[in-house]
């Protein structure tokens, strides 16, 4: 089964630092999903991405500000279920005729929601009259619901903590069900994707592995690939996966920058050369890195310096290999989130990790 044949969900990203956790919860429910920034979502739909449901993420902006992000109006007319989280709830309410206001009590942290009425969203999870812990993070709040919506749960500072239009299958929450601080959040997302949207749950990590190998082979063809290898989990998984796809067309480059723990470099080289039998270049560049960092005290400058040097070394080794058409790397997703918004989205940079935000401008 190819990626295209999986039932799938579109997650529209408004810049939340935890949008990828939404994707993780959806995938844990066995459902394939893709995250796209709000300003590219319409193009994704126009290109033929046919979601069985849509999730609107949180975000740092205020819907009360001029020019703040909005979902494509078309998503409300597709006839598919929508789950709107935090900022997603606010923009949905605004776009469908409700009212959102600033100046009310902001919340960041734990809150308790009280269940007032039944909803398919928390069927089998929460009971009417019960109080349940959730995680809030918002400055604005909905003060008037759009037509067709009713309140299902409230909290002390969120009178519309859960508001739904059950007929249209639109479900909005002021809290963040994707984070572990909302203990039942994953169950709510599971309800949405499996019960409300009715998706089969036919996506697995085994399927991902097979499809990733197929895509790598198709993309690379007969070219060679240079993989930046650190010995950590992320780059190691990427290297092994690529090697399964294209064999010795892959050459790993391990850059020894002089900042590793004692003996680690020998372990990395031995593992990949002797155990995995992957072609490996061990580039001892410790003097180069330590020299460039000498006297540098600003952490952001250090990270960008390291990022530039890594790319310089990879390009040099690519010329040695000859015919390398691709540079591969494996990156822990929190590094991407902290460094730069996902695929051009609106999230705010926290710090530049060397292999993401620390890369040269041309990349």
Among 176, 190, 243, 354, the one annotated catalytic:
176
178 counts as catalytic: yes
86 counts as catalytic: yes
Contacts of 171 (CB under 8 A, 6+ apart): 81, 82, 83, 84, 119, 120, 121, 162, 164, 192, 196
**Number of other CB atoms surrounding residue 156 within 10 Å:** 13
Is residue 33 left, alpha or beta, with left meaning phi > 0 and alpha meaning psi from -120 to 50?
A: beta
At residue 346, φ and ψ (nearest 5 deg) are: -95, 10
Among 86, 138, 338, 354, the one annotated catalytic:
86
Among 6, 7, 33, 178, the one annotated catalytic:
178
- List of E strands, 190-308: 224-229, 250-256, 280-284
At residue 102, φ and ψ (nearest 5 deg) are: -95, 175
Residues comprising the chain, all counted: 363
* Residue 197 three-state SS: coil
Task: State the maximum Cα–Cα separation within the chain, in Å, rounded to a whole number.
Answer: 69
282 counts as catalytic: no
Catalytic residues: 86, 176, 178
């Amino acid at each position: 089964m190819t990626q295209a044949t999986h039932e799938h969900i579109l997650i529209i990203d408004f810049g939340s630092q935890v949008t990828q956790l939404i994707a993780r919860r959806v995938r844990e429910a066995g459902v394939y999903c893709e995250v796209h920034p709000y300003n590219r979502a319409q193009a994704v739909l126009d290109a033929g991405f046919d979601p069985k449901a849509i999730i609107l993420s949180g975000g740092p902006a205020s819907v009360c500000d001029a020019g703040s992000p909005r979902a494509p109006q078309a998503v409300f007319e597709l006839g598919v279920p929508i789950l709107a989280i935090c900022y997603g709830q606010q923009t949905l309410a605004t776009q469908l005729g409700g009212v959102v206001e600033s100046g009310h009590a902001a919340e960041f942290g734990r809150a308790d929601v009280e269940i007032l009425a039944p909803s398919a969203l928390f069927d089998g999870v929460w009971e009417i009259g019960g109080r349940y812990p959730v995680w809030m993070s918002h400055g604005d709040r909905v003060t008037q619901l759009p037509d067709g919506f009713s309140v299902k749960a409230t909290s002390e500072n969120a009178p519309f903590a859960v508001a739904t239009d059950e007929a249209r299958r639109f479900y909005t929450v002021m809290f963040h069900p994707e984070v572990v601080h909302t203990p039942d959040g994953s169950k709510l997302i599971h309800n949405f994707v499996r019960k409300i949207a009715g998706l089969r749950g036919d996506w697995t990590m085994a399927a991902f592995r097979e499809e990733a190998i197929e895509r790598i082979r198709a993309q690379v063809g007969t070219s060679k690939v240079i993989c930046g290898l650190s010995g950590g989990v992320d780059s190691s998984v990427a290297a092994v996966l690529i090697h399964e796809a294209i064999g010795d067309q892959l050459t790993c480059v391990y850059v020894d920058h002089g900042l590793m723990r004692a003996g680690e470099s020998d372990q990395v080289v031995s593992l990949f050369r002797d155990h995995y039998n992957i072609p490996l270049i061990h580039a001892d560049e410790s003097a180069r890195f330590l020299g460039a960092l000498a006297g540098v005290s600003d952490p952001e400058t250090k990270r960008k310096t390291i990022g530039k040097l890594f790319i310089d070394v990879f390009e040099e080794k690519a010329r040695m290999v000859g015919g390398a058409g691709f540079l591969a790397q494996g990156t822990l997703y929190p590094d991407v989130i902290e460094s730069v918004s996902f695929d051009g989205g609106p999230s705010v940079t926290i710090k530049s990790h060397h292999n993401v935000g620390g890369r040269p401008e041309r990349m």
